[in-house]
Amino acid sequence: MSSTINLAERLRTLSPATRAAGWTLLASVCVVSFTAIGKHLTAELPITVITFFRSLLGIFLLAPWFYRVGFAGLATRQLPLLIARGLNTLLGLYCVFAAVALLPLADVVAIMYSKPIFASIAAVLILREIMYGARWRGILLGFVGMLLIIRPGFAEWNVGVLYALGAMAAGAFTIISVKFLTRTEPPDRIVAYTVLVMIVASLVPALFHWVSPTLEQLLWLAALGGLATGFQRCMARALAAADATVVLPFEFMRLLTAVVLGYLFFGEIADIWTWSGGMVIFAASFYVVRAESARTTNK
């Protein structure tokens, strides 16, 4: 126990940027790993069943938090937004698993780099913000990056691209909601509501396509649930520690991790188009986030 306390104290002495970088790198490993497990399981189980068990088994990682704070830890004034975030995360998971079942792992990760760009569009549509020059340039550059990966008319069309875009759009809402919620809500409470909402909302679709997992599949599902919940907690802590301009550059580790895991476990080799498109989308996302940060600072 004392060693855990000493580690927590040492972490608090680190700068916010260092803590955010560490949490983001750990989140990158978690998200790509649980996505790879999902890709493996989609060949054996319905996506609705995988998503339900991901939600259900993820609650065990929150057990220590519930034991420490009890149900009083769920007290909040942001209930509608927390529920909306849970439903959005569930929709995003459905799209992610459907996408990786049809596309290489690295392609899905590269396309989802467009989250900050679509978050900028969402800010205009939902928050009525003004679409100024930097946003237009970032959106155009990100669109070019997606075209490099998809290559419409030159590569065989795959509906998995639509699922990847849906997952990316869901992720854009997460960027807005998490940053807003962390102003008043602790990271663990945000994750707790996300998991609880997902358990309830994913149960009925799973029952309609129910397949009982084997023991081996249950172990994979347990790992998937733990990694997915770990990703949520890491990203919430990263965004609570520092601005998105600090967090985003380290998210490029996701593409590198996806390339390695895709090759080792699925024999997938990322081509030059995936690398090029991923880097262009990443550059566009970073440009938009930097522009947003500078604009906010100068207000």
Residue-wise pLDDT for 171-191, tens only, equals 777 777 877 787 788 878 888
In the structure encoding, which two tokens stand for residue 210, read together?
């129910």
What is the separation of C-alpha 6 from the centre of its chain, rounded to a whole number of angstroms? 30
Q: Examine residue 84 and state whether it is found in any structural domain, yes or no.
A: yes
Mean pLDDT in residue range 185-203 = 87
β-strand partners of 45: none
Q: Could you give phi then psi for residue 155, rounded to 5 degrees? A: -115, 150
To which residue do tokens 């609880």 refer? 196
Whether the CB-CB separation of 121 and 285 falls below 8 Å is answered with no
Q: How many domains does the chain have?
A: 1
Q: For 13, what's the count of Cα atoms within 13 Å in the CB-facing half-sphere? A: 6
Tell me, yes or no, whether 67 lies in a domain: yes
pLDDT the model gives residue 201: 94
Residue 242 has pLDDT above 80, yes or no: no
Q: What is the dihedral of CA 135, 138, 141, 142, to 10 degrees?
A: -110
Q: How far apart are CA 82 and CA 189, in angstroms?
A: 9
Paired with 152 in beta bridges are: 155
**Residue 10 covered by a domain:** no
* Residue 87 domain flag: yes
Q: Measuring CA to CA, which residue among 167, 173, 179, 168 is closest to residue 284?
A: 168
Beta-sheet strands, E only, within the chain: none
**Separation in Å, CA 270 to CA 24, 104, 128, 162, 180:** 23, 8, 39, 19, 35
131: left (phi over 0), alpha (psi -120 to 50) or beta: beta
Whether 210 is in a domain gets the answer yes
* 63-117 tens-digit pLDDT: 888 888 887 788 888 888 889 888 988 998 899 999 999 888 888 887 776 666 6
Q: Which tokens hold the place of 179?
A: 């940053």
- Residue 41 DSSP code: H
Asked whether residue 5 is domain-assigned, the answer is no
Residue 148 three-state SS:
helix
- Separation of alpha carbons 280 and 286, rounded Å: 10
- Residue pointed to by tokens 């601005």: 243
Q: What is the pLDDT of residue 124?
A: 66
Under DSSP, the state recorded for 207 is H
76: tokens are 């909040």
Average pLDDT taken over every residue of the chain: 78
Look at residue 227 and tell me if it is in a domain: yes
pTM for the model: 0.73
Residue 13 maps to a domain: no
Domain span at residue 43 reads 18-298
